[in-house]
Structure 1
Amino acid sequence: MLFSPCVLACSRTCSRILGLSLGIAALFAAVANTALLFPNWDVTFLLRGLIGRHAMLGSGLWGGGLMVLTAAILISLTGWRCGCFSKSGLCQNVFTALLSSGLAWLGALICFITSGVALKDGPFCMFNASSLNQTQTWKYGYPFKDLHNRDRNYLYDHSLWNSVCLEPSKAVVWHVSFFSVLLCISLLQLLLVVIHFINSFLGLFCSLCDK
C-alpha cells in the first residue's frame, strides 16, 4: 500500500511532538508541586512541617512529573528511532506504546485526582477555631473543610480568601493557583496520552498493512 510509508512517517512525527509536549508538561507539573511546598517562597513552613498533605503527597513530582516524563522519553525514543528503538520490531513497538501510555495515564490521573481533592478541601493554614465560649483558639488545619461551612464555597467567595487563613499570608491564593495549574496540566497530559494511544495503533495498523 502506497500510503503506508507516508502514514508511518506521520505517526513517528506525531510521537516526537507528543513526547516533547508530555515532557514539557511533566516539568511544569514538577515545578508547580515544588512551589506548593514553599508557600510565598518561604522554606520555614516546610521545615516546621506546616505543609498540607495534598502538597506533601507530591503527585505533581512523581505522578504528573516523573512517571509522565519517563513515558515521554519512551515516546520520543520511539518517534526518533533512537538506540534500541532504531530497528525495533512490531511486538517491541506495541509493548513500548502500551507501557508508555499506561505509565503516563496513571501518573496524570493520580495528579488530576489529587489536585481536584486539594481544591475541594482547601488550603492548610492557621485559622481561628473559636470554641463555644467564644475563646479565640488559633490552630493549623483545613478551615474550609473542618468548619463544615457548606453555605459558602471558598472557591467562589473571594471574601473568604483573606479573612479565614491568617498564616501563611495569601495561603488561599497560593493553594488555588498552583493546584489549578496542576489540574489543568494533568488534564492536558491525559488528553495527550489518548492521542498517543490512537497514534500508536494507527502506526501499528499501517505496519501490518505494509507487511
Structure 2
Amino acid sequence: MSCEKCAKYIGYCLVSAAVFCIVANALLYFPNGETKYATEDHLSRFVYYFAGVAGGGLLMLLPAFVFIGLEEEDCCGCCGFQNYGKRCSMLSSVLAALIGIIGSGYCVIVASLGLAEGPKCSDDNGVWNYTFASTEGQYLLDSSTWSKCYEPKHIVEWHVTLFSILLASSAIEFILCLIQVINGVLGGTCGYCFSRQQQYNC
C-alpha cells in the first residue's frame, strides 16, 4: 500500500469520526429531546464550547478531504521533476494533519473536562448546579449517586454517554492525524512507502 492510499483511508476514517462528533455535540443541546434546557441555560457550560461541532467536526473535515484527495494528485507538478508532485503533496498533508491535531486535541480536552465536572442539573430542592463538580470525576465510577440529579431525567447518563463519544472519537482523530504526520513525512521524503516509481510515466 502506498502512502497516498494510507492517507486516503485515514481521511475516510476522519470523516466518520467527525460525523460522530458533530452528532454527539448536537444531541447534548437536547436532553430527552427537549429544547427548554438550552433556552433556559440549564446545560453544561462545556456544551457551549462547540468542541464536537467545531474542533472534532468541521475543522476535521479539512484534513480529511486533503488526505482523501492525495491519491489523485498529479505526479508531475512540483519543481518540474518526476514524482516530485506526489512528494510535495504528501509534505503539504502534514500541515493539514497538524490542523487536525489542534482540532481533535481541543475536543479531547473539552470532553475530558465535561466528563470530570459532570452535568448541570436540578437537585431535590429545585436548585440548578454542578452536583458532581467536587467529586473530580469519581461520580463516573459510582452510578448510585446519579439519582442526585432530578431534572432533566437521566441527564447523567445522557451527559456521560455523549461526552464519552466525543472523547473517544476525537482521541481516534488525534491518533490518526499523528499517523498521517509520520506518513506524510515518509511519503514526502522517500516517495512511496513501497517503491512504485515505474508506475508513473510523466
TM-score range, shorter chain: 0.7 to 0.9
Alignment partner of 1:111 out of 107, 110, 121:
107
Amino acid paired to 2:26:
T
Shift of 1:92: 4.4
Which ranges in structure 2 are unaligned for 5 or more consecutive residues?
79-83, 198-202
Alignment partner of 2:142 out of 115, 134, 157:
157
**Structure 1 segment 48-197 matched on structure 2, within 5 A:** 48-81=40-73, 88-89=77-78, 90=84, 92-93=88-89, 96-128=92-124, 137-145=125-133, 148-149=134-135, 153-161=138-146, 163-197=147-181
Task: Verify: 1:26 aligned to 2:18, yes or no.
Answer: yes
Q: Tell me, what secondary structure is at the counterpart of 2:42?
A: coil
Amino acid paired to 1:200:
G
Most deviating of 106-115 and 96-105: 96-105
Query: Moved runs in structure 1, 4+ residues, more than 3 A?
Result: 85-88
Matched residues in 1 for 2:94 and 2:23: separation?
27
Percent identity between matched residues is 30
Matched residues in 2 for 1:108 and 1:46: separation?
25
Matched residues in 2 for 1:10 and 1:88: separation?
19
Alignment partner of 2:31 out of 34, 39, 45:
39
Deviation sequence 1:10-59 (CA, Å, 0-9, x none): 11111110111111111111001111111111112112222211111110
Aligned length: 187
Matched residues in 2 for 1:176 and 1:154: separation?
10
Alpha carbons of structure 1 residues 45 and 177: separation in structure 2 relative to 1, 3 Å: same
Alpha carbons of structure 1 residues 34 and 169: separation in structure 2 relative to 1, 3 Å: same
Shift of 1:69: 1.1
Amino acid paired to 1:57:
Y
Q: State the Cα RMSD in Å.
A: 2.2
Matched residues in 1 for 2:107 and 2:91: separation?
24
Amino acid paired to 2:59:
M
